[in-house]
Structure 1
Amino acid sequence: MRAYRAKVVEPIHLPDRDEREANIEEAGYNVFNLDSEDVFIDLLTDSGTGTMSDEQWAAMMRGDEAYAGSDSFKRLQESVADVMGFENIVPAHQGRGAENVLYGVLVSEGDYVPNNTHFDTTRAHVVNNGGQPVDCPVDVAPDDPFQGNLDPEKVRELADEVGAENIPALVVTITNNSMAGQPVSVQNLRDAREVADEIDATFVIDACRFAENAYFVQQREAEFEGSSVAAIAREELSYADAIVMSGKKDALSNIGGFVGVRDDELFEHAKQRGILYEGFSTYGGLSGRDLEAMAVGLREAVTQPYIESRVEQVAELGDLLLDADVPIYAPTGGHAVYVKAEEFLPNIPREQFPGQVLVGELYREGGVRAVELGEFAFPGEDRPQLVRLCLPRRTYFREHLEHIAETFEKVGERRDELSGLEIVWEPPMEELRHFSAKLEPVE
C-alpha cells in the first residue's frame, strides 16, 4: 500500500499517434530530445522528477537566501550528519556537480579509478580529468541477493597491473545503477574498505540511492534483520572516506547534491573547487529553498513506510511486465525495472541499438519515455542491452503501471516489423553521446 496520498495533481495528456510519430522522428529517435508536454508517462529518470512532501514544501518557505552563512545550509549540514554520518559537506547544484568537485580533486592524468560499475556521468568525469574508469563488478549467480557488489579481487589485480600509486580512488555505487539497480551488501562495503586501505586509495561511495540500498540490506542481509533502515544507512556509509550525493534521488528533492568528506585536507581542496565551479561553500549553486528541501527529504528517505512503498512499487511494475511476457532483469532493483532489449527484440543486432529501438517504440505506441543503457549509452563496452524504466518517487499509480505493461504488449505484437537504428550525428565526447545524439532507421 502506498505510504502517501495526493495533495496536488497535474493533468497529463497522451498525444495522438500521428503526433507521437512526428515527435519521435523530429527528435532524431532520441527521447532526450522530446518535449515534456509530449510525454504521457515519463520514466526517463528518477533524478529530480519525484513528488516532494508537504513537509518539504513547508520547509522551503523558510529558505535563507544569504550568500554566506545561510541557516538553510546549517540545517542541511545537520541532516547529513544525522542521516549519513558526514560532518563536512560541499553543496553542489546536482550529483554531477558533486562529481566534478570531488573527482576534479582526486583524479589526474594517467590515473585509474575502479568502480563496481561506472554510470555515465561518473565515467565521463573520470575521463575528463585524464583518468581511466575500470569496472570491477562481481560475477554473480541469478539467485545472488546482492548482484551490484564490487569484486575486490579485480581491484587487487588492477593494482598489481598498473601500480597502486596510480589508483587514487576506489568507488562503489549504491545501488548499482548500471547493473540493473542491484544492491550492494554491507559486507561488500567492508571488503571494499579493506582493499582501499591496502592500496592507499580514497574510498568513495556514490550514495545517490543509499536509502534504497539500505532497504535491500534490511530485507536480504541476515546480520541486519530487524535493524532500521536509518541505522543501516549510517552503517553502510560509515566505511567511506567520501561520498558523492545527488539530492535528486534519495534526498527526494528536485535539484541539489553535495560531497561529504572526512579528511580535513581533502575537504578543504573540495571546498575551494566547489567555490570555483558551484558557488560559495554555504550555497553551492542552490537557493536556500533547495537546501531546505534536501534537509527534510534525507530524513524522510530513511523512514520505513516511505522506502518500503518506494521499492515495492518498482517490484509491482516488474510483476506486471513479467505477466506480459516481457524479459526483465530479476530481481528488480530499487528505482527502476530493466528490460532485456536483445531478448525482447531478437531480430535487431547489437550494433543497430535494440535498446534504443525499443525506447522509440514505447514512445510511439504509448507515449512512454524510457532510457537505453546499452551500446548507445555505453559504446564499445561488453554490457547487456537494457532499457531502464525509472519510476519517479511518489508520482505514479497502478493505472500508470498497467498502461506501461499494455504498451509493451502492443510493441511486442509488431516486433518483427521493426528495424534497427544508426547514428547520424553525435557530440565529440562519446561517453555523453546518448544525451543528444540523433539517429535514423537503418535502410
Structure 2
Amino acid sequence: MKTIIEPFKIKTVEPIYFTTESERETKLKDAGNNLFGLKGKDVIIDLLTDSGTSAMSAQQWAGILNGDESYAGSESFYRFEAIIKKIMGFKHVIPTHQGRAAEKILFSIVGGPDTIIPNNTHFDTTRANIEFSGAKAVDLLNKDGKNPSLIADFKGNMDTELLEAFLKENHEKVPLVMLTITNNSGGGQPVSMQNIKEVRAICKKYNKPMFLDACRFAENAYFIKIREKGFENKSILEICQEMFSYADGMTMSAKKDALVNIGGFLALNDDTLAMESRNVLVVTEGFPTYGGLAGRDLEAIAIGLEEILDEAYLQYRIRTISYLGEKLTEAGVPILLPTGGHAVYIDAASFCKHIPAEEFPGQAIACALYLKGGIRSCEIGSVMFGKKDENGKHIAPDLELVRLAFPRRVYTQSHIDYVAEVILEVFEEKEKLKGYKITQEPPFLRHFTASFEEIA
C-alpha cells in the first residue's frame, strides 16, 4: 500500500495542555526567551530534542520489571553487553548514565591541551567535552553538507581530502578521529559506508584510532540500505555490523536509537584504554557493571537496541520526517535538503534574510514557533556554535538552522500536520521577526541556560 502506517499501536496516552498565545508570551519572557527554560507542560508539541523523549514499548516496560538490581554482576548488564557485542562487535562495553558521560570519560583520557579531535561535525556535548579537556574540536564536513538546498545522498560525510591534509600536518596532536552517524549538527544527514571505509583507511595510514559517535546508528544504516549501491539486499543488522567493523571504538547516547529515556555507553577494543576508562567510570559513574544506571535501565536499553533494527519501524521513522519536509518545501519554506533521519532543519539564514547571524535568526524563528503554536524547537547555529575572534567579531558556523527533532513513537500524523501549519503561518509573517541578543551566558553549552532579549 502507498500509505505507510505506524508499525505499533498506542497503549498509554499522555494529555497535552493547550496554552493560549498570551500565556506563552509570559512564559517565554519568564524563561529569558530560551526555550530550554520552559516547563514541559507549557509546550504543546515538543520537538526540542529526540534525546530521551521516546515512547518505550510494552516489551521494554516488561523488561524493566525483570531488571536485576545487583550492585555488581547484574544479569541485566550481561544482556546489555551481549546485544551491544552482537550489533557493534567491540571487546569492551562500559555503561554510563548518558552519552555525554561516555564522552567525558573518553576525552578526559585522550584529550587535553595541545590535542585536536577532528570529526565530520561535532555535536554540542562532544565539542564541549573536548574543549573542557583543553583540546580543540575541528569539523571537516564535506562541501555538499554546507549547502542547505543541494540534494545529495550522503551530505553527512567527512571530507576525506581535508582529513588527509589535516593528519599530514597535525598527526602528532591527534589522539583519535571521530565520525558522527548520522551527522546531527549537519542536518541529521547520513554518512555512507564508503566514507566510513575511506576515513578508516586514512586513520590506518596515520596509525590513528577511529571512533564513531553512534547515537543514530540504525537510522544511518537505513539510509545506506536505501541509497548506497550494494546494500539494498542486506539486513539492517548486517549493515550495522559492517559499519562498526571499521571502527576502534564508539560513544553512544542510548536516549536516541536505543529507544530509552536515559543511558549511554562507551565501547572499544583497546585493553589499556578500557582499563583507564573503567577507572574513571568507578570514580564518576559507578561500578563497571552498572555505570550510573539501574539494572532496569540496562534491560530496557538491551531490548530497545533490538527493536531499533526493525526495518518497518525505520521506514516509518524516516518517512515521518520526509513527510513534514515535503509539506514545507511545497510551500516554499527553506529547509535543509534532503531531510535527514530524526529531524527537519529549517534554513534560518534563508528564512530570515533580514536578520544577520550575530542577531541569531534561528533563535528568532524558534521563539516565534513557540509563540504562534506552542511548538518547542532548538536553534542549531550561532547561538549553539558561534564564537568571537580576538577582536570580538562574531564568527558564524557554516549553517544557521532550527531543528525540529521528533521523539520516537510519540506523535501521529495530525500532530505533524499541525506543526506544518504553525511553521507556514510564521513563514508568512517572517519579515516581522526581530533579532535577539544574549544578556547572560555560561562559558560552556550556552544555549542550554543563556538569556536573550529581542532587539528593538
TM-score of the superposed pair, with normalisation by structure 2: 0.95
Secondary structure of residue in 1 paired with 2:121:
coil
Partners of 1:290 and 1:250 lie apart in 2 by: 14
Which residues of 2 match residues 276-291 of structure 1 at below 5 A?
276-291=283-298
Secondary structure of residue in 2 paired with 1:351:
helix
What's 1:45 paired with? 49
Partners of 1:435 and 1:339 lie apart in 2 by: 20
Partners of 1:415 and 1:314 lie apart in 2 by: 23
- Is contact 1:359-1:372 (8 Å) kept? yes
- Is contact 2:152-2:338 (8 Å) kept? no
The question of 1:382 aligning with 2:390 is answered no
Partners of 1:85 and 1:324 lie apart in 2 by: 45
Partners of 1:381 and 1:67 lie apart in 2 by: 47
Partners of 1:346 and 1:138 lie apart in 2 by: 24
What's 2:314 paired with? 307
- Is contact 1:77-1:87 (8 Å) kept? no
Secondary structure of residue in 1 paired with 2:427:
helix
Which of 116, 120, 140 in structure 2 is aligned with 1:116?
A: 120
What's 2:391 paired with? none
Which of 428, 432, 441 in structure 1 is aligned with 2:443?
A: 428
Partners of 1:4 and 1:110 lie apart in 2 by: 50
Which residues of 2 match residues 119-134 of structure 1 at below 5 A?
119-134=123-138
Partners of 1:148 and 1:412 lie apart in 2 by: 27
The question of 1:442 aligning with 2:451 is answered no
What's 1:155 paired with? 163
Partners of 2:365 and 2:433 lie apart in 1 by: 9
Q: Give the drift of 1:218.
A: 0.1
What's 2:390 paired with? none
Partners of 2:87 and 2:204 lie apart in 1 by: 25
Root-mean-square deviation (Å):
1.1
Partners of 2:105 and 2:211 lie apart in 1 by: 13
What's 2:412 paired with? 397
Partners of 2:56 and 2:397 lie apart in 1 by: 37
Structure 2 unaligned residues grouped into runs of 5+: 387-394
Secondary structure of residue in 1 paired with 2:143:
coil
What's 1:248 paired with? 255
What's 2:184 paired with? 177
Secondary structure of residue in 2 paired with 1:243:
strand
Secondary structure of residue in 1 paired with 2:384:
coil
The question of 1:5 aligning with 2:6 is answered no
Partners of 1:422 and 1:143 lie apart in 2 by: 33
The question of 1:408 aligning with 2:423 is answered yes
Number of aligned pairs?
A: 440
User: Quick one: percent identity of the two aligned structures?
Assistant: 45
Q: Give the drift of 1:217.
A: 0.1
What's 1:83 paired with? 87
Q: Give the drift of 1:40.
A: 0.3
What's 1:36 paired with? 40
What's 2:350 paired with? 343
Which of 162, 174, 180 in structure 2 is aligned with 1:167?
A: 174
What's 1:187 paired with? 194
Partners of 1:84 and 1:93 lie apart in 2 by: 19
Which of 20, 26, 36 in structure 1 is aligned with 2:30?
A: 26
Secondary structure of residue in 2 paired with 1:177:
coil
Cα deviation per residue 1:380-424 (whole Å; 9 max; x = unaligned)? 343211000000000001111011111112212322222111000
Partners of 2:443 and 2:138 lie apart in 1 by: 21
Partners of 2:352 and 2:51 lie apart in 1 by: 28
The question of 1:144 aligning with 2:152 is answered yes
- Is contact 1:80-1:87 (8 Å) kept? no
Q: Give the drift of 1:100.
A: 0.8
Partners of 2:175 and 2:14 lie apart in 1 by: 46
User: Counterpart amino acid of 2:405?
Assistant: C
Which of 265, 270, 280 in structure 2 is aligned with 1:273?
A: 280
Partners of 1:343 and 1:25 lie apart in 2 by: 26
Give the ranges of 4+ consecutive aligned residues of structure 1 lying more than 6 Å apart after TM superposition: none
- Is contact 1:317-1:401 (8 Å) kept? yes
The question of 1:199 aligning with 2:206 is answered yes
What's 1:227 paired with? 234
Partners of 2:417 and 2:323 lie apart in 1 by: 10
- Is contact 1:375-1:383 (8 Å) kept? no
User: Counterpart amino acid of 1:210?
Assistant: F
- Is contact 2:357-2:396 (8 Å) kept? no
Cα deviation per residue 1:181-223 (whole Å; 9 max; x = unaligned)? 1000111111111111122222100010000000000001102
Cα deviation per residue 1:305-337 (whole Å; 9 max; x = unaligned)? 111111111111111222332111111000000
Secondary structure of residue in 2 paired with 1:439:
strand
Partners of 1:83 and 1:330 lie apart in 2 by: 30
What's 2:223 paired with? 216
TM-score of the superposed pair, with normalisation by structure 1: 0.97
User: Counterpart amino acid of 1:226?
Assistant: N
Partners of 1:281 and 1:186 lie apart in 2 by: 32
- Is contact 1:150-1:172 (8 Å) kept? yes
Q: Give the drift of 1:8.
A: 0.4
Secondary structure of residue in 1 paired with 2:383:
coil
Which residues of 2 match residues 65-76 of structure 1 at below 5 A?
65-76=69-80
User: Counterpart amino acid of 2:413?
Assistant: R
Partners of 1:403 and 1:36 lie apart in 2 by: 18
What's 1:106 paired with? 110
User: Counterpart amino acid of 1:322?
Assistant: T
- Is contact 2:365-2:433 (8 Å) kept? no
Partners of 2:419 and 2:308 lie apart in 1 by: 26
- Is contact 2:72-2:287 (8 Å) kept? yes
Cα deviation per residue 1:336-367 (whole Å; 9 max; x = unaligned)? 00001121122212111000000000000000
Secondary structure of residue in 1 paired with 2:267:
strand
